[in-house]
Every structure is written in C-alpha cells, then in structure tokens.
Amino acid sequence: MSAPVEIKEPSSFRLASTLAIAGLISGVAIVAVYEATLPTITHNKAEELKAAVFKVLPEVTEMRKYQYENNSLRFRTEEGSDDQTLYGGYSQQGAFVGYAIPSAGPGFQDTIGILYGYIPEQRKVVGMEILESRETPGLGDKIYKDLYFVSNFENLSIDPEIMVVKKGLRDEPHEVDAITGATISSKAVVRIINEGNQRWIHKIPTHGIPLPEQKGAE
C-alpha cells in the first residue's frame, strides 16, 4: 500500500516529534487514569487488609497499625507499609487481643504473602490468611482453599517451633498436617510464619499497646 505520489522521506524532526507527541498524550492519559482509580485501589487494599486482620484474630473489631523503631513499638499513622509494620487487634471493649503479623517468603512458584494472628499471652498462632500467592492451582492453592489445612493454624503453639508433619500424623500442639501433593507449599507457609516469629516475638510486648482512652470508650 504505497502512497501514489511523492516518495519524500519525512525529516528526523517530524519522526521524533510524532513519537514525542504520542508519548505526551499517552502519559497524560495514563496519569489521569491513575489519579482517577488510585483512591478506589487504596481503599480496596485497606479493606482487604482489615478483613484479613479481623479474620486471623478472633473477636477483634478494631485494629491499629504499629511500627517498630528505636527499640520500641509505637502507633503508626502515615500510610505505607514495610518490614517493620504489624497490626494490633482490639476487642469491642477496647482490650488488646493479639497481633496480626505480615510475613512473606518464597513458595513453590512465587512469593507467598501471609498475615497470621498471634496471641502473645498464650504463645499461640490463632489464624492464618494468605494475602498473596501464585501456587499451582489445584495443588498448591490448597494452602488457602483447603479449609482443613487452614484450620491447622487456629490453635497452634509456636514452641519450640512450628513443624510440618505428614498428613494424619499431627499429634503435638506445634505440628501442622501437610497437604498431600503440596508438601513444598505447606512447608513454605510454616517457614514463613516461623520467620515472622523470629523477627517479631522478642520485640513485641505481651499486652500490646493500650488504645488511647477516648477510643476505648467509644
């Protein structure tokens, strides 16, 4: 499909400016969409995280974000998250219930991100939720689809260390039944929780941080 008349080369300037203009328009469009969707996306993520915190800690209706800095745990208000962040869960009366600890590590295919509930007084994991996973559908994804496996983490002692055993052999309070056919994924979940424990257990006060007065009275 050659143009019938003039076979004149367009100047380099024309070529460059075409691309520059295209890039400019594209950039503006992308920024506009990004700005338009950002509030919804942030909101969705916060909701998702809140739902997960409420799920891994029993009877929690209030949560606060904590940050560890200068050798102590304190409330964190600004947005964003990193390795030094975890969440405190409070009951309706404002009493501290436990911590929701995020932890991540390599799984069978890609990083598995986990949030788990930990009650320091009992030294027990009381719930586990997979936030992020690309494990094999049908096998590895049972780490969140297999309710029996998830229920392993509802009353799990962390002493001396959480261990994976072959399915059906669980008889100690710190043992977890592996998923048949997804041993690597099961072990990854337990290893990620153990790593989270190593990172946090010695840093967190048993009774958490009390909520400011007026919040508790609400």
Partner 1 sequence: MATPSSPYEEMMKGLWRDNPVFVQVLGMCPMLAVTNTAVNALAMGLATLFVLVGSSFLVSVMRSLIPKQVRISSYIIIIATFVTIIDYSLLAVFPKIHKELGAFIPLITANCLILGRQEAFASRNSVGYAVMDAIGMSVGFLFALLALGSVREILGEGALFGFNLFGPNFEPWIIMILPPGGFLTLGLILLFFNWITEKRKQAQIEYQLAEERAS
Residue 27 Cβ, how far from partner 1 at the closest point, in Å?
9
Do residues 126 and 58 touch, judged by C-beta distance below 8 A? yes
Residue 60 Cβ, how far from partner 1 at the closest point, in Å?
23
Binding mask 31-60 for partner 1 (x = CB under 8 A): --xx-xx--xx--xx--x------------
Q: Both tokens of residue 133? A: 């996973």
DSSP state of 9: P
Residue-by-residue DSSP string for 23-91: HHHHHHHHHHHHHHHHHHHHHHHHHHHHHHHHHHSTT--EEEEEEEETTEEEE--SS---TTEEEEEE-
Binding partner 1 by CB under 8 A: which of 106, 138, 173, 212? 138
Do residues 164 and 186 touch, judged by C-beta distance below 8 A? yes
What 3-state class would DSSP assign to 11? Answer: coil
Nearer to partner 1, 34 or 148 (CB): 34
Please tell me the distance from the alpha carbon of residue 38 to that of residue 47, in angstroms, as a whole number. Answer: 14
**Which of the ranges 16-24, 63-71, 162-170, 191-199 carries the binding residues for partner 1, by CB under 8 A?**
16-24
Binding mask 152-191 for partner 1 (x = CB under 8 A): ----------------------------------------
Contact footprint for partner 1 (CB under 8 A): 1, 10, 14-15, 18-19, 22-23, 25-26, 29-30, 33-34, 36-37, 40-41, 44-45, 48, 134, 136-139
